[in-house]
Structure 1
C-alpha cells in the first residue's frame, strides 16, 4: 500500500514525546513525515519549546505541557502511547471547537495479551488459593497442611464457571476468548447491550472479531438487564475506561447483585469500583474475593484495609507492562499515519465527548 502514497501527502513535522525512540522506530516514521523532533522527557508546561509545538502537525506519545490551541496551530493528529485517553482529554482544550479539526488515537489493543493473561493468572490463583500456599512456603518456610486451606475440596475450576465481562472492548474480548478456552461460559455487558464486531488494532488470532463468544449480552444502562447480568456471574472482570458513566458502576447497590461466591477482577480503571462498598462486601462475606490491578487511590496507601487479605490479590497497576509495548505502539502509530494519508478511518479514534 505504501507505494501508492505520494510524497505530497507526507506530514510536515512529527513531535515524538516521552517514549523510547530507537533508530528502527525513526525509520518507520520517516516514511510518513518530512522531519522529526524527539524529546524523551516532557511532561510539564514549558518542557516543549514553543517554536517546536508551533510547527508540528503530528504528535506521537504523551503530549506533556500542551494546554491550548495557540501552542499548536498546525496540529492535525495525536497518536497517544496510551490505551486510555482520559488523562489527556480531561483538558479543556479538547472540548473546544478547534478539537474537531484534530484526530486523536489511543493504543487500545496493545494490552490484549498481557492483561488478559493477568486476568487468567489472578482468577486461577484465587480459585486455587495460591496466595495462601505461597505465604506458607515463602514466609513460614514449611509444607502447608490441607486443613489450613479449607481442604482439597476448596479448589475450584474455571471450567463451567460463568465469566461476566463488563466492558467488551479489546481487553474484555481477549479475556472472553481465554475464558472460553478454559471451558467457561461468557456473558458480556456494555452500555447498550448490543452485539458488535471488533474494531481497531487487534493482535493476530486474538479477541472476538464478530462478538460470537458471549452466550448473552446485557446493558449497563438498563437496571434490570444489568442486575440480571451481575446475578449470573461467578467471575466478574471489569475492563472499562474511566468516564463519568463508569465511575462507581460497581457500587454498594450493584455489588449486592453479585452472588456471594463470586470474585471480582478489575483490570481497567480503579474508579469503576466503590472501594468502601467492596470492602464491606468482603468483610460481610458477600463476595468470595477480588483481584485488583487498579484501585481508586493509586498508589494504595500503606496499611490500607485491602492489604493483607487472603482472598484479595493486589498488583500495582502492572498487568499491561509487556516488553512488547512500544513495538506495538509504533506499529499502531505508523498504520494510522498511513491511513490518514490514504483518507481511511484510523484505528482507535478518540471521541472527546465520551472520553475514550
Structure 2
C-alpha cells in the first residue's frame, strides 16, 4: 500500500477516502525534524504545515506534495522541482469561506464588538451600550482589494453585489477586473479606501508591502484586514500606526511568526481583531479542500498528473524517477 502522510489532521470524510488509497498517517507534530522523520517513506504528502527543503532529498519514494489549500509558501518549490516531486494545490476550495471572514471581521471592528462585549461582561448593559454611539455602518464605505485571485473575486462579489459598496482593486494584472470596480495603484487604493483587504500572495514583491509609507496614506479611521500572509505587513510600522492612532484598526489572521506569541503587542489593542489563521477554516471548507487534495493524490497514485499542477518544470525529473 502506498504511504500517504498528512502534516495535520484532515476532515473525517477525507481521511476515509485517503485510507482507501494507501496507508494514511498523520504527523504527530509539524516541526521540521518530525516532518523529516515522518516523510522519508511517503509517496504523497498532504501539506498543511511548512515542509523543510531537506525532505525532498531524503524521501526517495515521494511522488507529490499536495497543498491542502491554495498558497504554495508552505512548499519549498525549488527543492521539490529539483527533486522531481510534483506539487499541486486546491485553489478556490475555500475562497468563499475566506471572503465571508472579511465581512465578519470588518463588521466586528466597525461595531466595536470587542470593546462592547468586554464592557457588557465587566460593567453592565448601559456601559456597553454607550459605545454603540461611536460605531459605524458598512453602508457607504469604499473597500479596497489588494490582489485579485479567487479570494479577491469573492470579496468583490460580496462587497459590490451584497452590500453595494464601492470597490477599488490593485492587482498585478488588469485581466478580468470587473467593470463595476476601479483599477488603481496601491497608493491611491490606500488613500481612498475605508477598508483595505490584503488578498495577495507572499512574493518578493509583496513582502513588507504595507509599510510606514503606505500606512501613512490611509485614512485615520480606515481598517486593514490581512488574510494573505503575515510578512506582507511591516509589523513595526503597523504597531506604530496603531499606537499613534493613525489608522482605525485592523483584523489580522496571519502573522510573520505563527503561532503568535501570547505577549505579542497586537493582542493589547481593542481595535485589533486577532484570529489564529482560521479565515479559511470551517467544517465545509475543510471538507472541500481535503476532498480536492485527496482527488489529486488519487490521480498521482494512478500514474496521472495532478489537475492543478503547480511545477510542470519538474516533470522530466519526475518521469526519470517514475517511468510511465
Query: TM-score normalised by the shorter chain: which range applies?
Result: 0.7 to 0.9
Which has the larger share of helix?
A: 2
Structure 1: runs of 5 or more not aligned: 1-11, 197-210, 219-224
Identify the residue that residue 142 of structure 2 maps to in structure 1: 162
Which of 43, 46, 68 aligns to 1:81? It is 68
Q: Is 1:67 equivalent to 2:54 in the alignment?
A: yes
Deviation at 1:319, TM superposition (A): 2.4
Displacement of 1:342 in angstroms is 10
Of 278, 300, 309, which aligns to 1:318?
278
Match of 1:15 in 2: 4
CA contact (8 A) 1:158 1:179 kept: no
2:178 is aligned to: 212
Q: How does 1:88-107 map to 2 (within 5 A)?
A: 88-89=75-76, 93-94=79-80, 96=82, 98-99=83-84, 102-107=85-90
State which of 133, 147, 154 in structure 2 corresponds to 1:174.
154
Aligned length: 307
Report the equivalent of 2:317.
none
Q: Assess, with a 3 A threshold, how the Cα gap between structure 1 residues 247 and 214 changes in structure 2: closer, same or farther.
A: farther
Alpha carbons 1:332, 1:347 under 8 Å: kept: no
Q: CA deviation at 1:45?
A: 5.0
Measured in 1, the distance between the counterparts of 2:15 and 2:266 equals 44
Output the TM-score relative to the length of structure 2. 0.79
Q: CA deviation at 1:80?
A: 2.0
**Residues 1:30 and 1:194: Cα distance change in structure 2 (over 3 Å):** same
Partner of 1:184: 165
User: Mean Cα displacement is larger for which, 128-137 or 111-120?
Assistant: 111-120
Q: Is the 8 A contact 1:84 1:241 kept in 2?
A: yes
Structure 2 Cα separation of the partners of residues 49 and 261 of structure 1: 48
| Greater mean alpha carbon deviation, residues 77-86 or residues 177-186 | 77-86
- Give TM-score, length-normalised by structure 1: 0.73
* Contact persistence 1:255–1:278 (CA under 8 A): yes
1:236 partnered with 2:226: no
User: Contact 2:80–2:86 at 8 Å: present in 1 too?
Assistant: no
CA distance in 2, matches of 1:188, 1:348: 28
Task: Confirm or deny: 8 A CA contact 1:169 1:239 kept in the other structure.
Answer: yes
* Mapping for residues 241-260 of structure 1, pairs under 5 Å: 241-260=201-220
Displacement of 1:333 in angstroms is 2.4
Q: Check the 8 A contact 2:67/2:89 in 1, yes or no.
A: yes
| Long gaps (5+) in structure 2 | 315-324
Q: CA RMSD in A?
A: 3.4
Give the distance between the partners of 1:21 and 1:130, measured in 2 at CA. Answer: 32
CA distance in 2, matches of 1:352, 1:285: 48
User: Which of residues 98, 104, 108 is equivalent to 1:115?
Assistant: 98
